[in-house]
């Protein structure tokens, strides 16, 4: 029996525009090969930085391209977080949590609900203890919960950051992977560009390209350049030039529409299957975009123990505890598998949550 993975937060293979990207890579090499096949500037490929600066209405010097956005997080954490207090959402993306702990940071999880981070929890954390090095948050279609921070809360968090001189890093790889609803302004925009921002072409084009970026305060760019120079010297310019060619040809928007339609069908398949199989026996949210939804099982179910049994039954997921969530929670990724597999995977999972009563 083939295992159905709700664990993998990766795009379905059909999302990847292989032929267009092959054409773009060739065109980039033919047009600018002598530049992109050499060492280059540590903040990345100039034309792509320029494009991003225009899109985000910031000075180009603040755009830092990295080999995937997680690399940018590693650099920022190295510079800012060693041995310091860092505020995060509870639950939050597991990789940054691990990176911060390995740097000896004190990771302080802040209360969240269906509307995202609770600003009162942030206010409490800011009025007690050491001033934090920064707040890391994923306000839109969050990994792992799929939740989105409401507009009012965004404003309140921007105000709190300003009042307390708090550096905030808004991680936004999923914002454009939107299936319905009005897009909300980013915290970065609401703050007039003061709040740090990171994003990536991993979800909008292809993760294997490893093209991510951060928008950082001017004072940090020099420090990041030093780290890049002593790590990989120059980020992968061929990948960045390929992305730039994809943008230049006007392929980005139609590709995004296509990817969103493919993923929306998967999100809908998961919601339909959950409703059919688990209505009344568990709670889950309805994410308006992104890759994930958050499943809350009855308190007596331990999701790690459920995973052991479900793996044998041919379906996997990630226990919510891996992200700092409660033991009975789980992250279900709908991005990778087909709608038919989602249907079957939810059926297998539901049979374990409350097996049908034996006939009398």
Ligand X SMILES: Cc1ncc(COP(=O)(O)O)c(C=O)c1O
Place of tokens 């959402």: 89
Cβ proximity to ligand X: between 69 and 240 the closer is 69
Q: Which two tokens stand for residue 58?
A: 């910031």
Specify the DSSP class assigned to residue 290.
S
Question: Binding mask 90-119 vs ligand X (x if CB under 6 A, - otherwise)?
Answer: ---x--------------------------
How far CA 166 is from CA of 42, 85, 151, 160, in Å, comes to: 27, 12, 19, 8
**Token pair of 169 as six digits:** 């890093």
Which residue in the set 90, 145, 186, 200 belongs to the binding site for ligand X (CB under 6 A)? 200
The residue among 239 and 241 lying less far from ligand X, judged by its C-beta, is 239
Given candidates 143, 145, 310, 329, which one binds ligand X under the rule CB under 6 A? 143
Of the candidates 65, 108, 64, the residue with the CA atom closest to the CA atom of residue 90: 108
**130 phi and psi angles, rounded to 5 deg:** -60, 145
124: its two tokens = 């409490």
DSSP state of 207: G
Other Cβ atoms closer than 10 A to 53: 16
Q: Is 212 in the site for ligand X (CB under 6 A)?
A: yes
Q: Rule CB under 6 A: say whether 173 interacts with ligand X.
A: yes
Q: Which of 69, 148, 191, 310 binds ligand X (CB under 6 A)?
A: 69
The correct pick among 36, 65, 138, 259 for binding ligand X (CB under 6 A) is 138
Q: Do 335 and 345 meet the contact criterion of CB atoms below 8 Å apart?
A: no
Residue of 171, 277, 288, 344 that binds ligand X (CB under 6 A): 171
Interface segment toward ligand X; rule CB under 6 A; list 65-73, 236-244, 294-302, 311-319: 65-73
Rounded (to 5) percent helix, strand, coil in the chain: 45, 15, 40
Instruction: Give me the 4-23 binding string for ligand X, x by CB under 6 A, dash otherwise.
Output: -----x--------------
Among 207, 235, 319, 345, binds ligand X (CB under 6 A): 207
Distance CA 161, CA 163 (A): 6
Q: Considering beta carbons, is residue 45 or 344 the nearer one to ligand X?
A: 45
- Whole-angstrom distance, CA of residue 25 vs CA of residue 31: 10
Report the length, in residues, of the chain: 360
Q: Site size for ligand X, by CB under 6 A?
A: 13
Contact between 324 and ligand X (CB under 6 A)? no
Binding range to ligand X, per CB under 6 A, among 66-74, 103-111, 125-133, 294-302: 66-74
Q: Please report how close the Cβ of residue 90 comes to ligand X at its closest, in angstroms.
A: 15
Give the whole-angstrom CA distance, residue 276 versus residue 274: 5
CB of 10 to ligand X, least distance (A): 8
Name the site residues for ligand X (rule: CB under 6 A).
9, 68-70, 93, 138, 143, 171, 173, 200, 202, 207, 212
């Amino acid at each position: 029996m083939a295992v159905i993975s709700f664990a993998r937060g990766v795009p379905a293979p059909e999302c990847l525009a292989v032929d267009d990207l092959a054409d773009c890579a060739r065109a980039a090499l033919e047009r600018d090969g002598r530049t992109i096949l050499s060492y280059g500037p540590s903040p990345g490929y100039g034309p792509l930085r320029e494009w991003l600066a225009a899109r985000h209405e910031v000075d180009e010097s603040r755009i830092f391209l990295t080999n995937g956005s997680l690399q940018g997080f590693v650099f920022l954490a190295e510079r800012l977080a060693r041995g310091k207090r860092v505020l995060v959402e509870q639950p939050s993306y597991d990789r940054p949590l691990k990176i911060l702990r390995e740097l000896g940071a004190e990771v302080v999880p802040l209360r969240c609900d269906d509307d995202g981070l609770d600003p009162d929890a942030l206010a409490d954390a800011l009025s007690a203890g050491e001033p934090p090095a920064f707040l890391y948050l994923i306000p839109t279609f969050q990994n792992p919960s799929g939740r989105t921070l409401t507009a009012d809360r965004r404003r309140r968090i921007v105000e709190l950051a300003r009042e307390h001189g708090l550096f905030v890093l808004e991680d936004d790889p999923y914002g454009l992977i939107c299936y319905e609803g009005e897009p909300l302004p980013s915290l970065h925009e609401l703050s007039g560009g003061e709040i740090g921002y990171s994003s990536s072409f991993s979800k909008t084009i292809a993760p294997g390209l490893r093209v991510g970026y951060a928008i950082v305060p001017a004072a940090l760019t020099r420090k990041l350049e030093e780290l890049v120079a002593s790590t990989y010297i120059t980020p992968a310019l061929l990948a960045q030039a390929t992305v730039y060619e994809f943008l230049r040809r006007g392929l980005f928007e139609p590709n995004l529409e296509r990817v969103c339609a493919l993923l929306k069908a998967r999100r809908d398949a998961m919601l339909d299957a959950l409703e059919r199989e688990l209505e009344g026996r568990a709670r889950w949210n309805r994410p308006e975009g992104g890759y994930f939804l958050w499943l809350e099982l009855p308190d007596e179910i331990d999701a790690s123990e459920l995973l052991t049994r479900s793996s044998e039954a041919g379906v996997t997921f990630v226990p919510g505890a891996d992200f700092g969530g409660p033991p009975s929670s789980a992250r279900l990724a709908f991005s990778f598998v087909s709608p038919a597999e989602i249907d079957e995977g939810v059926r297998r999972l539901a049979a374990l949550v409350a097996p049908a009563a034996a006939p009398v």
